[in-house]
Structure 1
Amino acid sequence: MPISPAYQPDPQFLTLGPDFADPVAAADFPQTILRYRNDRAAATVGLDSFSEAEWLAHFGRFAPLPDNLKQPLAMRYHGHQFRTYNPELGDGRGFLFAQLREAGTGRLLDLGTKGSGQTPWSRSGDGRLTLKGGVREVLATAMLEALGVPTSRSFSLVETGEALERNDEPSPTRGAVLTRLSHSHIRFGTFQRHAFEEAPERIGALIDHVIACYYPELESAEDRPAALLEAVTGRAARLAATWMAAGFVHGVLNTDNMNITGESFDYGPYRFLPRNDPNFVAAYFDHSGLYSFGRQAEAVFWNLRQLGGCLSLVSESEPLVEALNGFAGRYRTELAAAMVRRLGVRSRGAEADSSLAQAAFQALAAGGEPLRWEPFFFDWFGGDEARALAGVRGDIYRQEGFADFRAQLATFEPVKPDALNHAYFAASEPQELIYEEIEAIWARIDQADDWSAFDAKLAALETARQAYGLSSD
């Protein structure tokens, strides 16, 4: 089938040269069984017209896309993992498969993989992904997109017919390969690798590449490293704020899991909050709570400081410090804006927005154990007090601890007055994605190869996305 005119290949990463990635080949999987394809995302890059056989050829066997990368590239990077530096990282079970432009916006996007086989950076790993891990990531990205979080999009999930051994789940377990569509896979750790190797010329080349591809507005900046750090700091502040408003805990905020465009990606032991709890952790091995819900902004800022340290090889320290010092203010502003968006009301300016956000967090705390995170935003979306009080949690909202929030919200207007006419808001409960539901969805797949709950959940999350109308760009 002829490829769509909307397909615009643009493999820019090749221009960086051989010091930044290694050519690799995908694993030869026993089977390729299509379990998920994101046609809405595929349409944005002109790949939605593929037949199933063509889709599997490109996203199961990884035949090159036309005029794109001739061979996948395992990207080189290092990173701090739970704040311990690891110089042996890199794409160990994934690669950059293609780069292409998004229809309409012209943004450069990556198609990258997870579970596509061993690379020079696999160390002792098998380079594979469990099917359960792929299912969890597809669900995570769908939920995050619905809630307005800048996130990679799960593009394809293909079961591979392999039986994998894992220490942290019952084995053997089924294998899969995931393809994600992301704004960039250049990580903070990409800069760290070349700083560790004392290669300032590569740091300079990375800065030039990132500005040209992702921040063209900085082309004429006098101090390009500092300007880039300031821009990345702003994007990272927005990302952290949207996580908080979504009640999302990434779980593993290492420097190799943060990219330079401020987009969330690579979901391992993530969780969505059942209810307000600053100390809630996603990873069972996060014994100190380093990446707990309430410490995510702190973790993001720590990571930004490591990026700043890399850029100090090619810039004076003072402008870099100044760029980093802007994080706290940007984060507070972004958090207020994110909470206002989640409540579906129109901004009334920084001071009023910040006060409402603080009142919302206080109300969530006042609700205690009976009040779940996501239903709070569902009930109050659009600022309709009568609807919230008439709902199943009305008695909670009549408590004294909600008085200030209710009074402040009453001064805000809905962004879309007719939004509550959407059928999604006629239900008494919203869509959530708590741990137990994900486990139940997986159990049906694992025990009976029953994908109906998975498909139904994705359909329901798409309905939520349309109802909320929150942009993640």
Structure 2
Amino acid sequence: MPVDPAAYRPEPHLQELGPEFADPVQAADFPQTILRFRNDRAAATVGLAGLTDEEWIAHFGRFRPLPDNLPVPLSQRYHGHQFRVYNPELGDGRGFTFAQLREAGTGRLLDLGTKGSGQTPWSRDGDGRLTLKGGVREVLATAMLEALGVPTSRSFSLVETGEALWRGDEPSPTRSSVLVRLSHSHIRFGSFQRHAFFDKADRIEALIGHVIAWYYPELHNAEDKAAALLAATTERSARLTARWMAAGFVHGVLNTDNMNITGESFDYGPYRFLPHNDPNFTAAYFDHAGLYSFGRQPESVFWNLQQLAACFTLVTGHDPLVEALNTFSGHYRRELTAAMLARLGLQSRSPDEDADLVNAAFRAIAAGGERLRWEPFFFDWFCKDEARALKGPRGDIYEGEGFAEFRRLLAPYAPERPERLAAGYFARAEPEELLYDEIEALWAPIAQGDDWSAFQAKLEAIEVARQAYGLSA
């Protein structure tokens, strides 16, 4: 197997937790394995870009073990709150952890995890499969989020599997697929909730120790490891939430089993990107009460952190956990300011000035109403290119009274790395976006004629945007 010996660093650790945390499973035997997407840029960071397509399919369609890695896939056990209703019947119902390996450059421990790889002990009445449309949507989501500087899992592989699936929210029968994602841990808040549910303090301690050892080694000498881990996860979660908000992203299903302990976004179902500023905008058609609407995402993440803290009360006192939770709002405000400045391509001036500018930016976007889409605002004003913004298709909006305060506060700011404006991307009138109607339009030729050209072109265009913005998650 042509792995890159300098970059392929297998390091499986999940099995060390034992049978109370994950179950060995086998992937489904699919009737077909047609490679539809492979992420060679991500693969290069873990030493797997040299695989031929046949080898790729063998590992990520048939799930032949990678060298010196997990000998069998492991389906993780967890519980969770779903729309704030506790569900003890969860777990990896259509996925598993396939491999763990170190990332070149950062040294982070990453998982290769699946979605749609077949039934597991936690499938309940599900078929363990993923629709091809669901896989396409997740590939697009992760590409766009990465381009906008959001900490996200990366879609690693998408293989069509040749089965006819029946779904209530898609025209059926519909095509099937298996997705592989590269993620900085698949251990969820709900992983702790399962063991708290059974009142197993020893398992909570074991899981805390595992997470600190492999994801937060800087906490190794902490006197109160549970409180230290909660504080670190709170900070990471605040950062993630701020990045979502700056990107105008609505996750849609912020259940406790959809949040991981490293503060990385993953598992994209009914997500949406904002068409324009609307705090009540929801992504999931079944979110009738707007629980996970755009404007309520910080509240939802904090609520989820509270549920994680409740698990830790089995192993430490309340006061240090409350202290850790109370850092969320401060972290969130700082991270939102930093994320907005990054999206606008500006150097920081002072905490007060930065906060004033960011607040003015939100008010200005709101003043633009439905005429001003979310993403074009950041594109037009990137690196303080006022002349480009005023000459562009939204110049009349920016000349209006609703933008006067924003422009006044923007005046003393200096652009961050203004050389980025030389990219051809910024000579365009419109930025790359990923709104709902476009996703449907990208899917239509695949569904109707197996034409993947528009999908491939969109991924290439998003990559151009990622390079032009040069944002780091």
TM-score band w.r.t. shorter chain: over 0.9
Match of 2:329 in 1: 328
Identical-pair percentage? 75
Alignment of 1:124-139 (within 5 A): 124-139=125-140
Alignment of 1:131-280 (within 5 A): 131-280=132-281
Q: CA deviation at 1:418?
A: 1.1
**What is the DSSP-based 3-state SS (H/G/I as helix, E as strand, rest coil) of the residue aligned with 2:370?**
coil
Match of 1:339 in 2: 340
| Distance in 2 of aligned mates of 1:211 and 1:22 | 22
**What is the DSSP-based 3-state SS (H/G/I as helix, E as strand, rest coil) of the residue aligned with 1:369?**
helix
1:79 aligns with 2:80: yes
| Distance in 1 of aligned mates of 2:198 and 2:301 | 24
- Larger displacement relative to structure 2 (344-353 or 170-179): 344-353
Alignment of 1:87-106 (within 5 A): 87-106=88-107
**What is the DSSP-based 3-state SS (H/G/I as helix, E as strand, rest coil) of the residue aligned with 2:266?**
coil
- Flag structure 1 segments of 5+ consecutive residues without an equivalent: none
Match of 1:15 in 2: 16
2:14 is matched by which residue type in structure 1? F
Q: CA deviation at 1:450?
A: 0.6
Deviations 1:270-299 (A, max 9, x none): 000000000000000000000000000000
Alignment of 1:411-430 (within 5 A): 411-430=412-431
Deviations 1:334-366 (A, max 9, x none): 111100000011111322221111011000000
Q: CA deviation at 1:329?
A: 0.9
| Distance in 2 of aligned mates of 1:2 and 1:165 | 38
**What is the DSSP-based 3-state SS (H/G/I as helix, E as strand, rest coil) of the residue aligned with 1:98?**
strand
Q: CA deviation at 1:85?
A: 0.2
Match of 1:56 in 2: 57
Match of 2:45 in 1: 44
| Distance in 1 of aligned mates of 2:376 and 2:382 | 10
Deviations 1:276-325 (A, max 9, x none): 00000000000000000000000000000000000010000000001001
Deviations 1:102-129 (A, max 9, x none): 0111110000000000000000000000
Match of 2:371 in 1: 370
**What is the DSSP-based 3-state SS (H/G/I as helix, E as strand, rest coil) of the residue aligned with 2:426?**
helix
1:108 aligns with 2:109: yes
Deviations 1:33-58 (A, max 9, x none): 00000000000000000000000000
1:446 is matched by which residue type in structure 2? A
| Distance in 2 of aligned mates of 1:123 and 1:411 | 59
1:4 aligns with 2:4: yes
**What is the DSSP-based 3-state SS (H/G/I as helix, E as strand, rest coil) of the residue aligned with 1:109?**
strand
**What is the DSSP-based 3-state SS (H/G/I as helix, E as strand, rest coil) of the residue aligned with 1:368?**
helix
| Distance in 1 of aligned mates of 2:10 and 2:108 | 11
- Larger displacement relative to structure 2 (411-420 or 156-165): 411-420
Q: CA deviation at 1:250?
A: 0.1
Q: CA deviation at 1:410?
A: 1.7
| Distance in 1 of aligned mates of 2:448 and 2:378 | 34
Q: Kindly report the root-mean-square deviation, in angstroms, between the aligned alpha carbons of the 2 structures.
A: 0.6
Alignment of 1:379-458 (within 5 A): 379-458=380-459
2:465 is matched by which residue type in structure 1? A
- Flag structure 2 segments of 5+ consecutive residues without an equivalent: none
| Distance in 2 of aligned mates of 1:231 and 1:384 | 37
Match of 2:464 in 1: 463
1:227 is matched by which residue type in structure 2? A
Q: CA deviation at 1:2?
A: 2.9
Deviations 1:398-429 (A, max 9, x none): 00110111111121111112111100001000
Deviations 1:125-157 (A, max 9, x none): 000000000000000000000000000000000
| Distance in 2 of aligned mates of 1:256 and 1:351 | 36
Q: CA deviation at 1:386?
A: 1.1
**What is the DSSP-based 3-state SS (H/G/I as helix, E as strand, rest coil) of the residue aligned with 2:90?**
coil
| Distance in 2 of aligned mates of 1:189 and 1:126 | 22
Q: CA deviation at 1:18?
A: 1.1
**What is the DSSP-based 3-state SS (H/G/I as helix, E as strand, rest coil) of the residue aligned with 1:159?**
strand
**What is the DSSP-based 3-state SS (H/G/I as helix, E as strand, rest coil) of the residue aligned with 2:439?**
helix
**What is the DSSP-based 3-state SS (H/G/I as helix, E as strand, rest coil) of the residue aligned with 1:100?**
strand
| Distance in 2 of aligned mates of 1:45 and 1:51 | 15
| Distance in 2 of aligned mates of 1:445 and 1:203 | 45
| Distance in 1 of aligned mates of 2:76 and 2:418 | 47
**What is the DSSP-based 3-state SS (H/G/I as helix, E as strand, rest coil) of the residue aligned with 2:114?**
strand
Match of 2:351 in 1: 350
| Distance in 2 of aligned mates of 1:404 and 1:216 | 45
Deviations 1:404-459 (A, max 9, x none): 11111121111112111100001000000000000000011000101011000000
| Distance in 1 of aligned mates of 2:418 and 2:236 | 29
| Distance in 1 of aligned mates of 2:333 and 2:214 | 28
**What is the DSSP-based 3-state SS (H/G/I as helix, E as strand, rest coil) of the residue aligned with 1:392?**
coil
Deviations 1:208-255 (A, max 9, x none): 111111111111111111011000000000000000000000000000
| Distance in 2 of aligned mates of 1:108 and 1:330 | 25
**What is the DSSP-based 3-state SS (H/G/I as helix, E as strand, rest coil) of the residue aligned with 2:361?**
helix
1:212 is matched by which residue type in structure 2? A
Matched positions, count: 472
| Distance in 1 of aligned mates of 2:406 and 2:157 | 42
2:121 is matched by which residue type in structure 1? P
TM-score by length of 1: 0.99
| Distance in 2 of aligned mates of 1:393 and 1:295 | 28
| Distance in 2 of aligned mates of 1:124 and 1:18 | 23
**What is the DSSP-based 3-state SS (H/G/I as helix, E as strand, rest coil) of the residue aligned with 1:117?**
coil
1:289 is matched by which residue type in structure 2? G
